[in-house]
Structure 1
Amino acid sequence: MKYSSLILFYLFSLNTLFAQKDYYFPERNKVWEIKAPATFKIDENKLQRVLDFALENEYSGSRDLRIAILKGFEREPFHEILGPTKKRGGPAGMILKNGYIIAQWGDTKRVDMTFSVTKSFLSTMAGLAVDHGLIAQTSDKAANYIWDGTFDGEHNGKITWAHLLQQNSDWSGELWGGKDWADRPPREGDLDDWKFRKLNEPGTIMEYNDVRVNVLAYALTHVWRKPLPMVLKENLMDKIGASTTWRWHGYYDAWTEIDGVRMKSVTGGGHSGAGMFISTEDMARFGLLFLNKGKWEDQQLISQDWIKKAIESSKPNVNYGFMWWLNKKGDRHWEGLSEDIYFAAGFGGNYIVIDNENDLVVVTRWLEPSKLGEFMTMLNTALK
């Protein structure tokens, strides 16, 4: 029995050792360590073709993002620029393996808009609110926390935090000059029919809608009782060694008052300007935090429970969780790639991809959106 116990202990210790992820975490303002792809038995020639592909397939929209935004959403009634914009750079990106850089291209320190990648940062603010006990559970009705009329009425009163996070609330109203029904209306049919349509039961139909996302940002600002960029900085970005260059903007007129203090309510994207302005390297740090299940070195910054919830499929859309896109078998599935992949996605080809199976974080900027699946398939081929 004595020797059997020793053998079992040895096997347990060995399994524990191999189960642990040997990740590298870059320090702030220090050179990010690079490792040759061959270190991880990755085909360097095939990987170079992946980089060439990214450089050759730049987003086709204008580099003047004010023009690109107005062109991209021109069919929406009343659409206009309501917040800051910035001219963008060229294609850029990083591929991390176990935290080490194995490939990079373009200017990875340049700060650019990220559009709906911001939504995954916003979702994380809700996760931190749950972790800190400010929100008891995502199934709670938002009206139990926000009593100023934002969630009044028979329909809006049913909306939970989960509905807002999964974009299936069908919240009805107006915020910061944006009307819910005017955001991404159907391409066919009469606009008045859409405006006065019967609202969907919360939780039944997903509709990508920036006005409703901004309602979530507004509600979380009131829950935290401070601007969300401060929450993000204090709880995450400083602790993962992010630079001081990132900014999270709201619309010019998006001011609210809490505890006698006037503060900006930020947006969850750049649909009308604003949102997260950030470098490729800081995006990669955020992705690495999620790859390591919310832990940076020895500090658990986001609970594993939250990350697990954030990447669960919603009932109306198997490919969408709490503002993260999921590579599940559905309309947005990349055939032949792991279903354990999830990603943040933004207008113009901005992505943070988390590949748990291969211990990868992939950040791409200004990649033609229709080319992301092909890009990831080529990368997967290089790994094999």
Structure 2
Amino acid sequence: MKTAINLIICPLFVLLFFGCSGNDTDTEPENEDIETTIYFPLIDNDTWESTSVTDLDWNEAELQNLYDFLEENNSKSFMILYNGKIVVEKYFNDHDEDTNWYWASAGKTLTTAITGIAQEEGYLNINDKVSDYIGTGWTSATTEQEALITNKHLLTMTSGLDDSDDDIAPEDLTYLADAGTRWAYHGVFLKLQDVVATATGSTWNSYFNSKLKDEIGMNGFWFPFESTNVYWSNTRSMARFGLLMYANGKWEDSQIIPEGFLNEAINTSQTINEAYGYMWWLNGKESYHLPQTQFEFNGELIPNAPNDMYAGLGKNDQKLYVIPSKKLVIIRMGDAASEENFALSTFDNDLWEKINNLID
């Protein structure tokens, strides 16, 4: 009996042990390719690993041309991360790695992230009416018109409220169209910060710090100015947030921003402006709208940039670009390259021409 069992077991053992040996080309390598492993800097200090332009086989001869272009166009800082590691970090005009600068509307994306976190924790639902959280009368629209506006309409810039003035007192938030029928870039998105504070029973700053800033090691602060609330930080902190987005909302093993919500945020969010998600600008679409206009422009947002790029764009050329296909996060802070602008400018396309000369 024992002999019979051995006759059965031995061939099975041989099959299991050697059965795949003839298909080595189909098996996964034992060691994961280092390029597929995202690097995360430490949270409690600014130690950050780097890799070089030459290591990546980029065109090093173009690096100085990029620096000259940035400096000539009023830049204060510029960073490129490749899979989380610093490749380029350059400062201009008395700016350095410890200097804070304003994100302007690129910081809208922080409000998006926090809204998604609060929804995941069960405090709010983006499909609920704004007035469910902050009460009625937050606009000067009728009760019926105001009741049409959901948190999602604020995320997508489709509240239907007048965008001719960025003030957000009730008397300034006048009705122009039913929510969801008109796209207009407007400061009313800040009401989401009130929604989050009310829903969580906390303050906006406290919830933001505990759920995002402290979790990924950012520095910085929110600065209320007139009717706005603007985030200020050093360049590396903007890069940390960009890295979090590139990693699908994860920081190492912790899911900070819910992945499902993040995927909604970086895809077309409504039918009016194809190039807009949840306060993220999207490249590679067939058309786009710009702030302060109701015109539709044909073509891609930034033709020289990769199609899968999405971006936080702020006044006077604050730039946060995330490019998954290239494993890149790119930051630019500074004054306006030429004329003042709300978000997109011709500088974006010109800058991407210089970046392509470097990385291609």
* TM bucket normalised to smaller: 0.7 to 0.9
Query: Equivalent residue for 2:223?
Result: 249
Give, in whole Å, the separation in 1 of the partners of 2:353 and 2:60.
15
Q: How does 1:136-147 map to 2 (within 5 A)?
A: 136=125, 138-147=126-135
**Length-normalised TM-score, structure 2:** 0.79
Match of 2:282 among 326, 337, 345: 326
Deviations 1:212-243 (A, max 9, x none): 12222222221222122211211122121223
Where does the alignment leave 5 or more consecutive residues of structure 2 unmatched?
Answer: 1-14, 289-299, 338-344
**Identity over the aligned pairs, expressed in percent?**
26
Deviations 1:121-166 (A, max 9, x none): 1111111112112124x33333333334337711110112211101
Query: Equivalent residue for 1:29?
Result: 45
Q: How many pairs were matched up?
A: 314
Q: Is the 8 A contact 2:194 2:204 kept in 1?
A: no
Give, in whole Å, the separation in 1 of the partners of 2:203 and 2:308.
33
1:213 paired to 2:189: yes
Q: 1:274 to 1:133 in 2, by over 3 A?
A: closer
| Displacement after TM superposition at 1:17 (Å) | 4.1
Q: Which stretch shows the higher mean deviation, 110-119 or 326-335? A: 326-335
Query: Equivalent residue for 2:296?
Result: none
Q: Is the 8 A contact 2:197 2:207 kept in 1?
A: no
Larger Rg: 2
Query: Equivalent residue for 1:91?
Result: 76
Q: Is the 8 A contact 2:160 2:181 kept in 1?
A: no
**Length-normalised TM-score, structure 1:** 0.74
1:49 paired to 2:65: yes
- Superposed CA RMSD in Å reads 2.8
Query: Equivalent residue for 2:311?
Result: 343
| Displacement after TM superposition at 1:171 (Å) | 3.6
Q: Is the 8 A contact 1:176 1:251 kept in 2?
A: no
The alignment partner of 1:102 has SS state of: strand
Give, in whole Å, the separation in 2 of the partners of 1:7 and 1:308.
40
Q: Is the 8 A contact 2:114 2:211 kept in 1?
A: no
Where does the alignment leave 5 or more consecutive residues of structure 1 unmatched?
Answer: 59-89, 182-197, 253-271
The alignment partner of 1:135 has SS state of: coil
Match of 1:109 among 98, 119, 139: 98
Q: Is the 8 A contact 2:282 2:310 kept in 1?
A: yes
Give, in whole Å, the separation in 2 of the partners of 1:240 and 1:230.
15
Give, in whole Å, the separation in 2 of the partners of 1:334 and 1:199.
30
The alignment partner of 2:358 has SS state of: helix
Deviations 1:233-280 (A, max 9, x none): 11122121223xx1112347xxxxxxxxxxxxxxxxxxx564111111
Give, in whole Å, the separation in 2 of the partners of 1:7 and 1:140.
58
Give, in whole Å, the separation in 1 of the partners of 2:274 and 2:321.
17
Q: How does 1:187-198 map to 2 (within 5 A)?
A: none
Give, in whole Å, the separation in 1 of the partners of 2:48 and 2:33.
25
Deviations 1:24-50 (A, max 9, x none): 111132432222111111111223322
